[in-house]
């Protein structure tokens, strides 16, 4: 039995979190420093950006996770600590300061940063803010932590589920940030997940790596793969289930819970794209294999022309076929079908690779909704995949035209 619950990243037993303003960001109403702590040392795993330009915190976190365990994670917003001289040393110092305040080894602290690239990150506000950050730790601190990692995000992103493993009630929750510079090729943005389920580090890594291929890797907002993308999951085992050490029913239950949380975060991230007014979900079915389905779905949500058409509520289905045509997958265009769907209904616009008569007025009503499904059938097999994106608006250019200044 799996159900959505409140609590976000602190829904799991033994986890506390906090978020404060320490002074990295000039706006004092914006939290810019977050902390997540496990009462017990937790199995941990992560996936990272494949961008060759990587933030210093990723180097440090990867090093600290070599033994597969961690106890805490600190993250700042407002500055990415990327392409900075001494950035790795600064990230290590953030871990050391946090560890000292918590009574933990620095190697058990993970670190992340998000914000402007190429600007020096001052350590002083972080050092001054850590005592308040630790003092604010709370089992109800998920929302504060979620706020502390936001940059251009307009909406907090947090979710949690309750599920059963081996007869024990377990919890898995998470927070995320991401609104722009999102076209992941591994994981995405910053996502922090926690669970009280007991699972071996190797199986936790396998679960995360498997899941992101069908969730976070299937998001695109603007085609830019960030330098600081990272997903971290911590599992402290405090639910008391027998440790998951191999595939089977318990691992499948854990995977279902993980996928429920990550899919929810995918949708909230895509729907909160910079300047976005609509969440786009492309569902491809009838593909010859999963790789083809994924390539086609991702190509559609990445199309700037299609994204612009969705902003204008224009049922320009030719842009869908265009995106399918350059997806790099072997498809038979003469078998392709396309429909648009929203809470206002469904309109078929293409069948067997050619247009079909439809009401432009009805299509407009359907596409004016906040959530749009783009349904693509390939007629070549049984494989399917889903990708998420958003519309492309004037505000995206405004936001990124003066992002740094």
**Beta-strand runs (E) in 268-370:** 279-287, 337-342, 345-351, 354-355
Contacts of residues 346-350 at CB distance under 8 Å and 24 or more positions apart, as own/partner, are 346/375, 347/315, 349/315, 349/317, 350/317, 350/320, 350/321
Quote the pLDDT of residue 405: 66
Catalytic residue among 82, 114, 188, 377: 188
Q: How far is CA 80 from the centre of its chain?
A: 17
Structural class in CATH, domain 3-271? alpha beta
pLDDT average per 10 residues of sequence, the chain (405 residues):
96 98 92 98 95 92 98 96 94 98 98 92 97 98 97 90 97 90 68 98 97 92 81 98 98 98 95 90 98 97 96 97 96 98 98 97 98 98 97 88 74
The enclosing H or E element of 360 equals helix 360-367
Query: Any idea where the domains of the chain sit in the sequence?
Result: 3-271, 279-401
- Is 188 labeled as catalytic in the residue annotation? yes
Sign of CA dihedral 248, 250, 253, 255: negative
Fold exhibited by the domain 279-401: Ubiquitin-like (UB roll) (3.10.20)
Give the pLDDT of residue 1: 81
Is 79 within 8 Å of 54 (Cβ atoms)? no
Question: Which one, of 129, 136, 113, 126, lies nearest residue 37 by Cα?
Answer: 136
Query: What is the pLDDT, as a whole number, of residue 186?
Result: 58
- Provide the pairing of β-strand 371-377 with 279-287: parallel
Quote the pLDDT of residue 397: 86
Tell me the C-alpha distance between 114 and 49, whole Å.
13
> What pLDDT is recorded for position 182?
66
């Amino acid at each position: 039995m799996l159900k959505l619950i409140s609590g976000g990243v602190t829904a799991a037993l033994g986890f506390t979190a906090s978020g404060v303003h320490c002074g990295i960001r000039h706006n004092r109403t914006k939290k810019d420093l977050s902390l997540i702590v496990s009462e017990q040392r937790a199995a941990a795993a992560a996936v990272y950006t494949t961008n060759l330009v990587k933030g210093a915190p990723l180097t440090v976190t990867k090093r600290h996770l070599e033994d597969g365990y961690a106890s805490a994670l600190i993250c700042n917003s407002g500055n990415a600590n990327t392409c900075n001289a001494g950035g790795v040393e600064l990230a290590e110092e953030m871990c050391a300061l946090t560890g000292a305040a918590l009574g933990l080894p620095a190697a058990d602290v993970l670190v992340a940063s998000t914000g402007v690239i190429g600007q020096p990150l001052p350590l002083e506000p972080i050092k001054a803010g850590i005592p308040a950050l630790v003092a604010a730790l709370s089992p109800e601190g998920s929302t504060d932590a979620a706020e502390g990692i936001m940059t251009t995000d307009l909406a907090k992103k947090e979710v949690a589920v309750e599920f059963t493993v081996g007869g024990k009630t377990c919890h898995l929750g998470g927070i995320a940030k991401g609104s722009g510079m999102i076209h992941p090729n591994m994981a995405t943005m910053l996502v922090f997940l926690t669970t009280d389920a007991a699972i071996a580090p190797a199986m936790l890594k396998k679960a995360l790596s498997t899941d992101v291929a069908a969730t976070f890797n299937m998001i695109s907002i603007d085609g830019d793969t960030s330098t600081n993308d990272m997903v971290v999951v911590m599992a402290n085992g405090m639910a008391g289930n027998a440790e998951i050490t191999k595939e089977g029913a318990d691992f499948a239950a854990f995977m279902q819970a993980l996928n429920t949380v990550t899919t929810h975060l995918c949708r909230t991230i895509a729907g909160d794209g910079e300047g976005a007014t609509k969440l786009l979900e492309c569902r491809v079915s009838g593909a010859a294999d999963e790789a083809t389905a994924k390539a086609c779905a991702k190509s559609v949500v990445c199309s700037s022309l299609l994204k612009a058409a969705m902003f204008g509520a224009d049922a320009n289905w030719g842009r869908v076929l265009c995106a399918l045509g350059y997806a790099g997958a072997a498809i038979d265009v003469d078998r392709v079908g396309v429909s648009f769907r929203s809470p206002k209904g469904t309109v078929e616009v293409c069948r067997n690779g050619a247009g079909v008569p439809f009401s432009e007025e009805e299509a407009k009503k359907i596409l004016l909704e906040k959530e749009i499904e783009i349904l693509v059938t390939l007629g070549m097999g049984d494989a399917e995949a889903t990708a998420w994106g958003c519309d492309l608006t004037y505000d995206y250019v405004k936001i990124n035209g003066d992002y740094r200044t």
